[in-house]
Amino acid sequence: MKWKHLVLGWMAITALAAALLGEEAPATPAAPAADKPAGVTPPPGVPPAKPPQAPLGLFLLTGDADFTFAAQRGSRGVFEGAVAPMLLWQPCDRVLLELDLDLSLANNPVTGGTDKSGTVALANLSYIVNDRLTVGGGIFEMPFAAFHSHFDPGWINRLPDEPLPYGERGIAPDQGIGFFALGAFPIADSRLTYNLWWTVSPTLLIDDPDAAGSIDFGNFHNFKYTNRNSGLRTAGGRFAYIVCPAVEVGYSIQASEMNPEHFKHVDALLQAVDVNFVKEFDEIKGTVRAQAEWLWSNVRRATYDPTGALGFGPLRFDNERSGGFGLVSYRPTKCGNAFLKNTEFVIRYDWLRIPEESPGGGGEERWTPGVDYWITPSCVIKVAYEWDRLHGAPDAHVLLFQFAIGF
């Protein structure tokens, strides 16, 4: 039995259970005053009553922006500005439309020119079926492992860049086009959450002498590839257990069937485990955050450039890749000093292992200590130094500065 069938079966059982067990969510969530939970302290300045909903529903313009400077010895610095405005439209209590654009501009130290980028990061519509199940479709963020769905925006990520498994040579999907279902079940004080998705498959790169064997997860922006991979040939899910408010443990799996042009069908299986922890301790007068993820991908063996026409084949190798990161941060949130209270100390170790014999292959590992200063809860200045060791290539240490804001 193929992995894909197992994943699909697992997903179907979970979605069915959610549909059957979920209670109907009331259209108007307001509860009588008598049900007011003990201990609730209305925040200062918050209006006491919900105003009547506008005829067209509710709109919210939100998003984030960041400005990053990277300085590397022996090369010109790179300055990048990025803004991601997001429009949310809630026409009624159960429906939400998300539209998010990612726009960025950076100088290219090699060509001396400018790199511009603009993509639709989110464009999806979702519907709350009941308290345990929400369904939707469109372009959406793939909650494979926790980083993209939990910590991705610059004002949330504790360091200026993404961990290696999510970078250019990464092994984790970030966005997908297709359908999704998600929800949560209460288990006493803990929660069991699930995300399921059916999407167009990513593309296996077969003719790039520097990246053959890698998976292009952003392929759906190119309709040539989307047509080629037509049909929802990728299925996946993430299941997380929020053990207690401070600890979340997740497991993700995704099975894909990829159909590169003039190439055999190739299956890919991605898996990940993640653990997140955050707690404020009186003993050390501060808040500790810890995140750890381990991801790995397995692409079925194939022969790349079988005729040798592309100059790097025929090449056949075990296409197993893995990566991960561990991050710990400490912020003295209970310290009396206002400056220290808003300062956060971070360290991250991340790594990526790609088969040496594959095009563009070789491992990479980084140590990145950094310091953040929080101007407000959603506005931060970060400084970090990255010791970047590339196997079989010169080290690429880099000094990073970033200003990030969520709005």
Partner 1 sequence: MLLTRTIRVVLLFGFTVAAVAVLAAAGGCQGPALMTAAGSAGAAGEQAVATTPPEKSGVQLWAETCGRCHNLRDPAWRSADAREVAVHHMRLRVPMTGEDQRAIQKFLRGD
Q: Does 50 bind partner 1 (CB under 8 A)?
A: yes
Alpha carbons 179 and 191: distance in angstroms, whole number: 23
Judged by CB under 8 A, the residue of 210, 261, 280, 357 near partner 1 is 280
Q: Which of 169, 228, 300, 341 binds partner 1 (CB under 8 A)?
A: 341
Min CB(298)–partner 1 separation in Å: 8
Confirm or reject binding of residue 33 to partner 1 (CB under 8 A). Answer: yes
User: Closest distance between partner 1 and the C-beta of residue 378, in Å?
Assistant: 6
Tell me the C-alpha distance between 168 and 66, whole Å. 19
Helices of type H across 186-313? 223-228
- Minimum distance from CB of 101 to partner 1 (Å)? 16
Beta bridge pairs of residue 196: 181, 237
- Asked if 336 interacts with partner 1 (CB under 8 A), we say no
CB of 357 to partner 1, least distance (A): 17
**Between residue 142 and residue 201, which ones bind partner 1 under the rule CB under 8 A?**
143, 149-151, 155-156, 182-186, 189, 191, 193-195
Give the footprint of partner 1 on residues 69-98 (CB under 8 A).
88, 90, 93, 96, 98
Binding residues with partner 1: total (CB under 8 A): 94
Binding map of partner 1 across residues 196-215, x = CB under 8 A, - = no contact: --------------------
Which residue type, as a one-letter code, is found at position 390?
A: L
CB nearer to partner 1: pick between 192 and 390: 192
Cβ proximity to partner 1: between 27 and 110 the closer is: 27
- Token duo for residue 14: 């979970």
Confirm or reject binding of residue 108 to partner 1 (CB under 8 A): no
**What single-letter DSSP state applies at residue 306?**
T
- The residue written with tokens 């993209």 in the block is 148
DSSP 162: -
Question: Max CA-CA distance within the chain?
Answer: 76
| Amino acid found at 365 | E
Contact flags string 299-328 toward partner 1, x per CB under 8 A: ------------------------------
φ, ψ for residue 174, nearest 5 deg: -110, -45
- Taking CB under 8 A as the criterion, the residue among 234, 252, 276, 358 binding partner 1 is 276
Instruction: Determine contact, residues 357/317, Cβ cutoff 8 Å.
Output: yes
Alpha carbons 154 and 218: distance in angstroms, whole number = 20
- Judged by CB under 8 A, does residue 342 bind partner 1? yes
> How far is CA 296 from each of CA 133, 272, 300, 321, rounded to the nearest angstrom?
29, 6, 13, 6
CA distance 67 to 77: 13
Tell me if 103 sits within 8 A of 140, measured CB to CB: no
Nearest by Cα to 158 from 257, 290, 259: 290
Residues from 254 through 273 that contact partner 1 (CB under 8 A): 273
Residue 87 vs 232, nearer CB to partner 1: 87
Regarding 293 and contact with partner 1 (CB under 8 A), the answer is: no
What x-and-dash track marks residues 215-254 binding partner 1 by CB under 8 A? ---------------------------xxxxxxxx-x---
In one-letter notation, the amino acid at residue 161 is: D
CA separation (Å) from 300 to 8, 166, 254, 270? Answer: 19, 21, 14, 12
59/210 with CB nearer partner 1: 59
Cβ closest to partner 1, residue 173 vs residue 313: 173
Which is nearer to partner 1, 155 or 225 (by Cβ)? 155
Tell the smallest beta-carbon distance from residue 342 to partner 1 (Å): 5
Only one residue has tokens 């400490």, namely 330
> Is residue 134 close enough to count as binding partner 1 by CB under 8 A?
yes
